[in-house]
Structure 1
Amino acid sequence: MKKVLIFSGTTEGRKLAMALSGAKIEAVVCVATEYGKEVMPELCGITVRQGRMNTEEMCGLMESGAFLAVVDATHPFATEVSKNIKGSARESGLPYFRLKRETKGAAVPALDGGERELWFSDSHACAKALQEEIKNGGTGNVLLTTGSKELSVYCVDPELKKRLYVRVLPGMESLALCKKEELEGRQILALQGPFSEEMNLAFIHAYDIRYLVTKESGITGGFQEKAEAAAHAGITLCVIGNPEKEPGMTFLAVCRKLEELTGVSIPVKNRMDIVLAGAGMGEMGTRTVETQDAMEKADYLFGAKRLLAGLHAKKETLPYYLAEDIIPVLSDALDQAAGETVRAVILFSGDSGFYSGCEKLYQKLTAWKKERTEEISIRIQPGISSVSCFAAACGMNWQDAKILSIHGKGGRDVWEAEVAEAVRCHEKTILLVSGAKDIRQIGAVLKEAGLSDCTVKVGYQLSYPEQKIDTLTPEACEQVTEEGLYICAVQNASCADRYLAPEKADDMFIRGKVPMTKEEVREVAICKLHLTENSVVYDIGSGTGSIAVEAAARSAKLRVFAVEQKEEAVALIEQNRAKFHLKNITVVHGKAPDALKELPVPTHAFIGGSSGNLREIINVLREKNPHIRIVITAISLETVSEITALLKETEVTQSEVVALQVSRAKVVGNYHLMQAENPVYLCTMQM
């Protein structure tokens, strides 16, 4: 029987060679580089031919009479090679099948505002754009993940070349091209993938990367992990779009065509059943019967080490819970399944839908499934959560509890404001924690927030033989040292409802001699800001910090930056922040607009004082967020005039100017006389 000629160097080509070998169909696999030959497994009936070929050499090989058909499984960006293969096959009279990679399956994260996503038709356009970025003051370095073939395009401009870090395959050909372009050793990252999101982030941080260049190479090419890393780091993702315009064939379609030509069945009806299961607390007794049954039938078990302790799948038990570790194993299992159903179970602690990594993994597995030709089912099975187990052990209900997770959220500065607010406003607050350190920090946070009267129920090693439930004071929590798995519930019998609107009277603030936005104006201004729970607010010209305090008190998730240039006022803001136990206020000592430039992107801004820089402040705010909402107070007609002029010059979607005239009753003998406050103008701008 004549052989099949495969032009490969890709995952798809290796996969086809394995399928043909399994069907006892002989094939010659052509790869361009030594590295391409190294990664090809030794397969019965498969011959690997290394080296680049021109059109004449391709025609000569095809016209030898040894081949039945040609399969083009080259990289989607190797368009010129594909063109030559197709033309040679046509000239030689051989059937030509293009095995095409799907590059649309990888999801790109939604942009949050800090990062950009730029698409280009080719490397030349991308390199030109990067040169322009640098000329216009763009900072940071460029991580090039597009291989070495078009490296020269990015090395033409000396300034761009200086900023390059190139990630290439660890083959002699790639290294030779890097040397040819005279790149320094520190700029060459010769590594073999796949690269996880975490690994990409590590490269970004280690080399001060501000631009990540990638091809639209699909999940197989690690596109999703690079896109997510760029989004999380807030850098620019430069994507070179897939240049392949002609339709290709799926893996299954190619196999069917080869079956017709050879008369031999190629077993590609592999199936996989994947279960993402909540494993309860870890001990066998906290798993559902459904999950236990799936585990007993599994060929592969994945999960954290403690969940796998003492377990044995029919084939393999692997301590993985991240997609980048699990998917390659599942891919290999499908490639070698030979028509069988492969069963895999991935375990998550507690319940699969409660503060679990299950959802993210489910999404990545679903995207991966779209690139496969096999029949793959993905199911989620729930489990017993740590909260339900803990509540039962404590003998309490939890339907009326506030539940928060501080597990893996870093230092207490990240979560203390939210925890203090929850405890202050709820009789029961259940906290998922990382370990003994979190219990100690919770005790300290409660004391500093004036919540020392609370009691803390602490659950240790739930479901395990050493399980215990302790009732502690905040002071006693600070003494916890025994390491293990923890959960706790803070009980506050004196909890008070949180005010939904501003409620602090003027005399509640520490004043000194610093001007303060009066109570009624403050309340209207806060309402006009239209704050949401996760807003980032600038209080510019903060004075005593009354606006900052009222805004921050609306939600612990809300972040407020009180910007003030006077030292006396800065001290008062700090005192008022401490008085009201508001950890979500950051005091910034400096003059706007310069003091704003290094702060996080704002969603809202209140301007109570501008020191004559109102126009400059608004310009900086618009640069940081073109859709910001701004509220400005004014008492002088000159400021009002400047504001109205700005409204005419500035593109806004909504604007409003309101004059507030407040009068307060003053008791004089037996009479109440109304005493007027100075009129205040309130301007609202929605950009």
Structure 2
Amino acid sequence: MREILIFAGTTEGRKLSEVLCDSGIHHRICVATEYGEILLKHHPCRKIHRGRMEPEEMRDFIVKGDFAAVVDGTHPYAEIVTKNIQAAVEGTGIPYMRLLRQNDTEGGDSNRKYFESASQCAKALEQVEGNILLTTGSKDLEKFCSSDDVKKRLYVRILPGAESLSLCTSQGIEGKQIIAMQGPFSEEMNLALIRQFQIGCLVTKESGNAGGYREKLEAAKKAGIEVFVIKRKEEEGYSFARICDQLEQICHRKLCRKGPMDIVLAGIGMGNARNMTLEVYEAIKGADILLGAERMIAPYSPHIEKRPYYLAKQIIPYLKEIKEKNVFFEEWKVVILFSGDSGFYSGCKDVFQVLEKEICLKNIQGSVRILPGISSVACLASRIGESYEDAGIFSIHGKDVYNLVEKIRCREKTFLLMSGAKDVHKLGTLLLASGLSRCEVIVGYQLSYEEEKIIRLTPEECLKLDGEGLYTCFIKNPEVSPKRLTHGKADDDFIRDKVPMTKEEVRDVSICKLGLYKGAVVYDIGSGTGSIAMEIAGLSDNILVYAIERKPEAISLIKSNKEKFHLQNIQIVEAEAPEKMDGLLPATHAFIGGSGGHLKEILSELYNINPNMRIVINAISLETIAEIKNCLELFKIREEEMIQMQVSRSKKAGEYHLMRAENPVWICSFCFCEE
């Protein structure tokens, strides 16, 4: 197969060579200097020709080679070299393509002056005071050294190659004036050099982003110095993408031309840019693509584009789309913004997990990382002089929080993230209804912004709060009721009426036999007063309980007890089991306090829902015990245990205490296991 010939002298030329290497296409790449050769790693598809060629040598080289196309990837300012390549190719019948560097820099600024040539720029420097940072390389150095006054004030940044150093020496540039380094250079590095050498004017070519042009301009702007820009001449040619398209047609092969994405999920803090971490600020400033809610991305201008996307279902298709539509031959920086702290009640977690999966499946090429921000809780705590390591921290921003009242009741300090004034009103209502009227509520309004306010309120005053905006609340409870670490409510704590209820000691043992854990989903079948459901739901907000009951009077009692104990992680299902169970979240555990004669059907449905479910059944009659024994023979089970529990209670009779026995109860526990 015929080779592709690349004349390289730019990042783009080298990157095109990398694309051809990755695609298995043999080619030759011509570089002028030893340093240019060093930048290219050995690859079996690439041959390197080092050294400058005169026009006749260049034509002879092209004619004697077996080339399918010639790509001119030399520097935009190397006009003579480009003319020589064009002349050498002319009449050979070999396609010639000029690879253009993207000129995506912004327009003028007050600290910037433009010149048509290096000579014109050098002449203007004679009127400038102070030291000069020359970042145009060594090629035109002679022009800038024609004035002794300018020469002695020059600090010349060049490539660390022998040829460049030799040119500096020949022009009388002293060693202390030479900065021999390979870019790219960040804004911080440019700014450091400006300050180190007390630069008053920076000289650059209009070289585009690949040449670090933007970083030079930003550094000069921060330092408050002038920038002299040598303008790039308009020329005909093709973009990197178009060159790749043409080479695919010439080589009859698809090119592997997609670069990786460096994806950063960044917490921007409370919203005011002054409170953003420097790490996040630098990530935003260096972004090629910027995503996030519209209000967050509005102040910033990424290198390529920004979109108001912050959900995984928006972000993933977009990243796949730009991967297919665009040729990015070096790492693209994608920054996705989230409010507050990325690891604190943030949508960042879901997006991160989806991106990791897509990268693992190779649907997206690149890497993903997270940068944290400062949360409004940290800000409010600092404003009011409180710590938050010993506080409860919860969010009702756009969602309900299970058992919020009990969370506040058992803590001295609680922080709440909120959606707006309506959530403050809701908080006041809950505190008053729950007997927590002595709590102090401190509201942080529009934290970090100019209109920031810290407002101290009573629960009653929370109901009257005006003004929409961003709120974070701190609740101080002077009457803490320590949370019990075990279940074990007294029977008299429940609203009972005449509905049968599992007694306290039996509840305790039955719940222990369930072996509950975080994230459990429990069916309380034949819930009665809901005593079992209340006890289980009170153990953890991360447990969901379905109280399944068929009797209307019992349903009413379950609702009353749920309201009394302020438990939102109980859902009441009015049905005769096993009806409606198939429409619920699959259970991990089930307690059967009453089966209504349908034990076999109930167990069959539970097995269908989860063949590894943990079951506890209570029985007080011998007939029910016999039914349990017969039913268990129908299923494969493990960890079977049957205990009988007898409880006696003392009752005072005159001066004596007599023991009165409760009905004995059988407690059967086991786990289903799959066939």
Under a length normalisation based on structure 1, what TM-score does the superposition of the two structures give?
Answer: 0.57
Distance 2:567 2:363 in 1: 55
Q: Following the alignment from structure 1 to structure 2, what is the Cα–Cα distance between the partners of residues 684 and 338?
A: 61
Q: Which residue number in structure 2 is paired with residue 678 of structure 1?
A: 663
**Does the 8 A contact of 1:537 with 1:605 survive in 2?**
yes
Task: Give, in whole Å, the separation in 2 of the partners of 1:300 and 1:564.
Answer: 55
Match of 1:393 in 2: 383
| Equivalent residues of 1:443, 1:474 under 8 A apart | yes
State the secondary structure of the residue aligned to 1:437.
helix
Contact 1:282 1:306 in 2 (8 A): no
Q: Cα 1:297–1:656, aligned 2, differ >3 Å: closer, same or farther?
A: same
One-letter code of the match for 2:383? A
Q: Does 1:540 align with 2:529?
A: no
Structure 2 residue 517 is matched with structure 1 residue 503: no
Question: Does the CA-based 8 Å contact 1:539-1:562 persist in structure 2?
Answer: yes
Tell me the number of residue pairs that the alignment of Structure 1 and Structure 2 aligns. 437
Asked if structure 2 preserves the Cα contact closer than 8 Å seen for 1:403 and 1:430, the reply is yes
* Structure 2 residue aligned with 1:322: 311
> Which of the numbers 432, 435, 455 marks the counterpart of 1:447?
432
Aligned to 2:293: 304
Post-superposition Cα deviations, 1:629-650, rounded to whole Å, max 9, x if no partner, equal 2211111111111111222222
Q: Identify if the C-alpha distance between structure 1 residues 315 and 561 changes in structure 2 by more than 3 Å, giving closer, same or farther.
A: closer
Q: Is the 8 A contact 1:418 1:557 kept in 2?
A: no
User: Separation in 2 of the partners of 1:393 and 1:599?
Assistant: 45
1:464 and 2:449 matched: yes
Give the match for residue 608 of structure 2. 623
Structure 2 contact 267–339 (Cα < 8 Å) conserved: yes
Q: Which residue of 2 aligns with 1:408?
A: 398
Equivalent residue of 1:594, what SS?
coil
Assess, with a 3 A threshold, how the Cα gap between structure 1 residues 344 and 515 changes in structure 2: closer, same or farther: closer
Matched, 1:352 2:342: yes
Distance 1:565 1:576 in 2: 17
Paired residues for 1:328-347 under 5 Å: 330=319, 336-337=326-327, 339-347=329-337
Say yes or no: does 1:427 pair with 2:412.
yes
Partner SS for 2:539: coil
Give the C-alpha shift of residue 658 in structure 1. 0.4
CA contact (8 A) 1:269 1:374 kept: no
1:206-259 deviation per Cα after TM superposition (whole angstroms, max 9, x unaligned): xxxxxxxxxxxxxxxxxxxxxxxxxxxxxxxxxxxxxxxxxxxxxxxxx9xx89
Unaligned runs of 5+ in 1: 5-15, 26-67, 69-254
Query: Which letter maps to 1:579?
Result: K
The answer to whether the 8 Å contact 2:320/2:364 transfers is no
1:659 and 1:554 map into 2 onto residues whose CA distance is 25
2: CA distance between counterparts of 1:338 and 1:590? 60
SS in 2 for 1:681: strand
Aligned mates of 1:359, 1:669 — CA distance in 2: 66
Within 2, Cα distance between the matches of 1:450 and 1:531?
Answer: 31
Q: Would the alpha carbon gap of residues 474 and 615 (structure 1) be closer, same or farther in structure 2, given more than 3 Å must change? A: same
Highest CA radius of gyration, 1 or 2? 2
CA offset digits 1:549-580 (Å, max 9, x no partner)? 22222223433333333333333333333333
**Aligned ranges 1:263-662 → 2 under 5 Å:** 268=257, 270=259, 272-327=261-316, 330=319, 336-337=326-327, 339-369=329-359, 376-409=366-399, 414-415=400-401, 417-594=402-579, 596-662=581-647
Matched residues, percent identical?
A: 50
- Residues 1:308 and 1:675: Cα distance change in structure 2 (over 3 Å): same
Matched with 2:42 is: none
Give 3-state SS (helix, strand or coil) of 1:609's partner.
coil
Amino acid at match of 2:606: L
Q: Deviations over 1:278-327 (max 9, x none)?
A: 21111111111222223223333222222223222334333222345445
Q: Which amino acid aligns with 2:289?
A: Y
Q: TM-score w.r.t. structure 2 length?
A: 0.58
Q: Distance in 2 between matches of 1:644 and 1:676?
A: 26
Please say if residues 267 and 338 of structure 1, whose CA atoms lie closer than 8 Å, have aligned partners that are also in contact: no
Q: How far off is 1:466 after superposition?
A: 0.9
- Following superposition, the deviation at residue 263 of structure 1 comes to 12
Q: Is the 8 A contact 1:521 1:660 kept in 2?
A: yes
User: Is contact 2:319–2:364 with CA below 8 Å preserved after alignment?
Assistant: no
- CA separation of 1:630 and 1:448: change in aligned 2, threshold 3 A: farther
Deviation at 1:397, TM superposition (A): 0.7
State the one-letter code of the partner of 2:286: K
Separation in structure 1 between the aligned mates of residue 256 and residue 591 of structure 2, nearest angstrom: 67
Alignment-mate amino acid for residue 479 of structure 2: S
Secondary structure of the structure 2 residue equivalent to 1:620: helix
User: Residues 543 and 564 of structure 1 are in contact (CA less than 8 Å); yes or no, is this contact kept in structure 2?
Assistant: yes
